[in-house]
Amino acid sequence: MGWKLWSLKKSIWVFHVNTGACNNCDIEIVDLLTPKFDVERFGIKLVGSPRHADALLVTGVGTRQAAKRLQEVYRQTSKPCVVFCMGACACGTGIFEGAYHVAGPVDKIIKEVDPNAIIAYVPGCPPKPEAMISGVVKALSVL
Amino acid sequence: MEQQELESRLSQMEGKLIGTQQTKNNRIFLLCEAEKCSDVCRFLFEELSLRFVISTGIDADDCFEVLHHFSNDQTGCMVTVKAFIRDRTKPSIGSITPFVPAAEWIEREMHDVLGIDFENHPNMRRLILCDDWPEGVYPLRKDAKL
Amino acid sequence: MGAFLEGKGKSKEMNTPWQNLFWILIFPGFLFTLVLGLLASWLVRKVSALVQWRVGPPFYQPLADVMKLLGKEILIPQDACRVVFIAAPLVGLSGVLLLAVVLWQTAITQTAFVGDIIVAIYLMVLPSLALILGSSASASPHAAIGTSREMKLVLSYELPMALAFVVVIIKTAAAVGIGRQLDMAAISQCAPVLSVSGLLAFLTALLCIQAKLGFVPFDIAESETEVAGGVIIEYSGALLAVWKIMQAMMLVVLPLFLVMVFLGGFGTTGWPLAWGVGKYVLVLVLIILIKNTNPRVRIDQAMRFFWFYCGTAMVAAVILATLGSCYGIDWL
């Protein structure tokens, strides 16, 4: 594989976006980045700006208010990048199916901006940190 | 204040209410019409110094109901003011925000999703619906077409 | 290699451009310092991980980071001033590169020019200046906050650092005579840290280096949890890679400068070389330990710390050093 793909797999910098989540998944993501689970050994680092990020960890069902903002954040992430939908709500609207404030699950919102986006799904309500790590590592191995 | 004293002082206000309910030892409902709601809440907040907790808006089939919950922290007794708004076409009630500043946001939320107009509210703006939501569509009403 | 170095030492002016280019770009200039810098940066992360009872990243992690950044697209904000935005990281990198070349030349060949410590002090300001320029060209409110914080930080630690080097110069003048005290080769022969004023100066300079490297407790400008990346928020792709390379090289150059100026230099063969590497690792470990045991401070706390505490300590150290050199008391 080329050097670009190797270095992307070995060093993934993540940025966390909340598009209307109940904060359960957000707490688990913040847990994930503490020293107990030590994701630094996979090269994963939390960055403060989407421009530095390679992976967007998106939680929450995409509300109408957050949909445009999520698309803007996706555009500002320098490609190549991966979008991880964390949690049942992000994967497919979860329990909010058909509600008045839902603008579609996260992959529908992202595909409006970029039909060729690379999207990975980590279901769970909320997914355990171990499940998130396993999801990220599996996604990286098939890139 | 103690439960006995609370109940005796509440009975002072009988004239403004159309009924009281006490479902449990520590749960009192004061039922009133929309016009008297503001006076009753002012009595509870200022004279009895109860703590404002939250408000609830309900779309009952023939009227709107606005409940304001107050708490007597010493005994753990919740006193709820239940106001009935009979006019379903233009529901409106006096706002309690001028003397209970904490009620500002919950009244904005009730206005957004139920369409209840709060008179004398100092800052009635959109709170929880998204920016491009059409005016006049209230999602939590029973007859809302979404 | 020995003959090559001897040749460098004897006749500097007659080197071919190819030899000079090799010196600047490959060894011990850009490539050598970069490799050492990536290793040092891995060491920082690994030791921090071990202190926190976890396994850290593998040894090629900083290399993978830089390679990945080089492969991503560069996004430039619409309102940014393009020329300054792109030039700032390159200016910072060139400053660090020059400083590295000057230091290695002094360390390896023991010849330089008189007054090169002044040049080194000036060159050390260049990366911070480039950071300020780059972030103010970013057209972002977060970057603006980062810029103002970085400017205040630079204002606060430059004074104690300059005074610390004045202490060193005074002590060297006492040791080797008046004419040569501004020559770094001469400074690195004596070890000013073995005296009261020298020790104070070394500790202050260590904290100033911590601020210059942008490490906790002074990573105020780039605090990722407060201002979303601060000074480098709008940088991406290859430009961000240049900032990271600059920071990696600073991790080699600045402790090396401290070793040469305070701790008695860096040898080239045998025992002096091992001793020099040991001193460098000692300074690096001190930096890592300070980094891992302290929370981030606010900018006003940092300014008060540098100006009042470090500043008065340094004034006292200068007075002690002057007294020591006037009356011939070595341990002052």
Does A8 map to a domain?
A: no
Whether residue A101 and residue B131 make contact (CB cut-off 8 A), yes or no, is: no
Q: Is the pLDDT of residue C2 over 60?
A: no
Per the structure, the complete domain to which residue A65 belongs is given by 13-131
Dihedral (Cα; C85, C255, C252, C124), 10-degree rounding:
30
DSSP string, B57-68: EEE-SSSEEEEE
Does A108 map to a domain?
A: yes
Does B46 map to a domain?
A: yes
Residue pair B24/B80 in contact by the 8 Å Cβ criterion: no
Least confident window among C108-122, C156-170, C209-223, C275-289: C108-122
CATH number for the domain harbouring residue B34: 3.30.460.80
Whether residue A100 and residue B146 make contact (CB cut-off 8 A), yes or no, is: yes
Interface of A with C (CB under 8 A): 3-4, 6-8, 10-11, 35-36, 38, 40-41, 43, 46-49, 51-52, 54, 76, 78-80
Does B31 map to a domain?
A: yes
Does A142 map to a domain?
A: no
Residue pair A58/A17 in contact by the 8 Å Cβ criterion: yes
Q: Is the pLDDT of residue C3 over 60?
A: no
Which residue's structure tokens are 């708004």?
B85
Residue predicted with more confidence, C242 or B14: C242
What is the per-residue pLDDT for C236? 84
pLDDT band, residue C179 (cuts 50/70/90): low
Does A84 map to a domain?
A: yes
Closest CA to A10 of C37, C67, C249: C67
Residue pair B115/B93 in contact by the 8 Å Cβ criterion: no
Residue pair C175/C321 in contact by the 8 Å Cβ criterion: no
Q: Is the pLDDT of residue B38 over 50?
A: yes
Please give the tally of structural domains in chain B.
1
Please give the tally of structural domains in chain A.
1
> Which residues in chain C are closer than 8 Å to A76, comparing Cβ atoms?
75
Whether residue C67 and residue A4 make contact (CB cut-off 8 A), yes or no, is: yes
CATH number for the domain harbouring residue A20: 3.40.50.12280
Q: Is the pLDDT of residue C193 over 80?
A: no
A116: Cβ contacts below 8 Å, ≥ 6 apart: none
- Nearest chain B alpha carbon to A66: B130
**What one-letter code names the amino acid at B120?**
N
Out of A3, A7, A78, the one facing C75 most closely (by C-beta) is: A78
- Nearest chain A alpha carbon to B128: A65
Q: What pTM was estimated for this model as a whole?
A: 0.83
Q: Is the pLDDT of residue C103 over 70?
A: yes
Q: Is the pLDDT of residue C299 over 80?
A: yes
Helix (H) or strand (E) holding A130: helix A129-141
Mean pLDDT, rounded, for B53-73 = 91
Distance of CA A67 to CAs A52, A73, A90, C179, Å? 21, 10, 12, 70
Query: Whole-angstrom Cα distance, residue C148 to residue C63?
Result: 31
> Which residues in chain A are closer than 8 Å to B129, comparing Cβ atoms?
101
Query: Whole-angstrom Cα distance, residue B28 to residue C244?
Result: 65
- CA distance, residue C217 to nearest chain A CA (Å): 18
pLDDT digits (tens, 9 = 90+) for A81-112: 899 999 998 998 888 888 888 888 898 999 99
Domain boundaries, chain C: 72-327
Dihedral (Cα; B133, B137, B140, B145), 10-degree rounding:
-110
Mean pLDDT, rounded, for C8-24 = 65
Residue predicted with more confidence, C319 or B145: C319
Most confident range, picked from C44-48, C100-104, C232-236: C44-48
What is the per-residue pLDDT for C204? 92
Does B45 map to a domain?
A: yes
Q: Is the pLDDT of residue A38 over 90?
A: no
Least confident window among B90-94, C69-73, C86-90, C264-268: C264-268
What is the per-residue pLDDT for C93? 92
**What one-letter code names the amino acid at C89?**
P
